[in-house]
Amino acid sequence: DIQMTQSPSSLSASVGDRVTITCRASQSISNFLNWYHQKPGKAPNLLIYVASSLQSGVPSRFSGSGSGTDFTLTISSLQPEDFGTYYCQQSYISPRTFGQGTKVEIK
């Protein structure tokens, strides 16, 4: 199985800060990497698909990059509603593994 490792596991940042979360795959997954945001008690919400495509309706402050094994999710200017946990997921091959999550807190 492909292992997905996110870093950091948690972070605390202020409104307006630029935030970067990384995701590393244990083998190449081309660009089959997706990012989700989950708020407590809610279902995950798709942000970015195939590494860098912004899902419809998602604010443009979210962006994704990378290919192969190393990927990045960037929030250009953190907003209060961006708190929660972010997950990467590979869709290159079954099983469709997720990263362990990055918890984002607002200072």
Partner 1 sequence: QVQLVQSGAEVKKPGASVKVSCKASGYTFTDYYVHWVRQAPGQGLEWMGWINPDSGDTDYVQKFQGRVTMTRDTSLTTAYMELSSLRSDDTAVYYCARDLLRGGDFDQWGQGTLVTVSS
Q: How far is the CB of 62 from partner 1 (least distance, A)?
A: 14
Q: Which is nearer to partner 1, 74 or 98 (CB)?
A: 98
Q: How far is the CB of 23 from partner 1 (least distance, A)?
A: 13
Which residues of this protein are in contact with partner 1, per CB under 8 A?
31-32, 34, 36, 38, 43-46, 49-50, 53, 55, 87, 89, 91-92, 94-101
Buried b (16+ CB within 10 A) or exposed e, 59-88: eeebbbebeebebbbebeebeeebbbbbbb
- Dist. CA 51–CA 73, nearest whole Å: 9
Q: How far is the CB of 33 from partner 1 (least distance, A)?
A: 9
Phi, psi dihedral angles at 86 (to 5 degrees): -110, 135
